[in-house]
Amino acid sequence: MRHVLLEPAAGHAEPGDGGPVSDCGPRESAAGHGYEPRPSARWGTARRRINDLVQRARRFAKRLRDEPGLTQGDVGEREGVSGPRVNQVLSMLRLHEAILADVTDPERDTPVPLLDELFVIGRIEDPREQVTRYHAVCGSLEGRRGGERAAAGRQHGFQHLFAQARAYQAALDAGEFRSLTALAKSEGVTHHWVAQVLDLLTLAADLQVALDVPPERLPTGLTQKEVRRLARLGNHDAQRAQLRRLWPGLLT
């Protein structure tokens, strides 16, 4: 199956609606970012939506604790959602307490990651690594503006997408999901988005090593659009040749 990486500007309204997501930033997204919001409320809506999801997760968890034998499917029936959706909401509670405290703080109006990025962070087993990754993502959002599409795609880099791609692939390899569609339903995105993220893993191994680095180590102008074009080539030698032609020195 061929996969294609999305443009940096792609977004989705909320997990569960099946829309795609890319990098974090101040545009319409699962975390509620909008184009050029007022400075005083730039991240307020995002934080309120994340807080609502965390509170919902805590309510689900309490029901499961208080009613022995109750399943996530049972909770879903009561809430009018699917069992996988309940599981997705509950996954917010895998985040370290320090992260949960920050994203739900009503007094803060600082950047927060997209929900898809928070889900990826929640899969990291080491709590300290979770916190480090969280602060790195939030730090990359400081000072960004909605109109800076190309710069945003470059500044944020590709590390979050590589992490997501490997998490998706690991879930598929472990037999947790029988298809991309089933995985996408669990994640609250479309199967097209899952396929497009997985396309990163079709790049040659040395290209993955060269691209899966902090954004400051990437050359100016290297965006998700260009990486998508590389992935479309399919042939690893062609991928290397194209990367060397456009960005000499990136591959050693």
Decide: 99 and 10 in contact? Cβ < 8 Å. Answer: no
Residue ranges per structural domain of the chain:
39-246
Q: Determine the pLDDT at residue 106.
A: 78
Q: Is the pLDDT of residue 146 over 70?
A: no
pLDDT band at 70 (very low <50, low <70, confident <90, very high): very high
Q: Determine the pLDDT at residue 252.
A: 66
Q: Is the pLDDT of residue 23 over 60?
A: no
Which candidate, 178, 161, 143, places its Cα nearest to that of 223? 161
Decide: 122 and 92 in contact? Cβ < 8 Å. Answer: yes
User: What span, in angstroms and rounded, lies between the C-alpha atoms of 14 and 225?
Assistant: 23
Task: Cite the DSSP H helix spans in the chain.
Answer: 44-66, 72-79, 83-90, 97-103, 115-122, 127-141, 149-156, 159-173, 180-187, 191-198, 205-211, 224-233, 236-246
CA dihedral sign, ordered 161, 48, 127, 173: negative
User: What span, in angstroms and rounded, lies between the C-alpha atoms of 197 and 195?
Assistant: 6
**pLDDT tens per residue across span 83-139:** 888 998 999 999 999 899 988 887 777 888 888 888 888 888 888 888 888 888 887
pLDDT band at 40 (very low <50, low <70, confident <90, very high): very low
Q: What mean pLDDT is predicted for residues 52-63?
A: 93
